[in-house]
Amino acid sequence: MGGVRALIVDDEPEILDLLEIWLDDDERCADVRRALDLDGAVTIARDWTPDVMVIDFNVGTRTSVEVLPELRLLCPAARIIVHTASRHAADAAGATAAGADAVVEKTQYTIDALIDRVLTGLTASQTG
């Protein structure tokens, strides 16, 4: 089966539900997995190797910066987007330095525009 494998990570189940619905409905996306915490994200990335990850910046009492280097090692070709409610320059710089491809403020995009940005350029031929 062709298409993009997407991992979404957020500690708010409602956000996960919305992202999952939108990704599932997009024809470019083949499969979606989800994690409520950063340890779960690492486990899924290790076992499944997603093509794209959308990770909340603050997950519980931790930040995604803590696991981005490990996620990047596990999935070097994946596009990693950090999704944040508050985009401070220091947060964005820290996330990109740790391995994120982009930091996107949650209020900056509608959900469909975010999904399009996440999936644009990722095709079935790239996902092997």
Ordered structural domains, the chain, with CATH: 4-120 (3.40.50.2300)
The mean pLDDT value for 75-103 works out to 85
Task: Decide: 125 and 98 in contact? Cβ < 8 Å.
Answer: no
Is 102 exposed, middle or buried (CB count within 10 Å of its CB: 0-12, 13-18, 19+)?
A: middle
Please write the tens of the pLDDT for every residue from 96-111. Answer: 899 999 888 877 778 8
Which are the contacts of 26, defined by CB distance < 8 A and separation ≥ 6? 115, 119
Please write the tens of the pLDDT for every residue from 3-46. Answer: 899 999 999 999 999 999 999 999 989 999 999 999 999 999 99
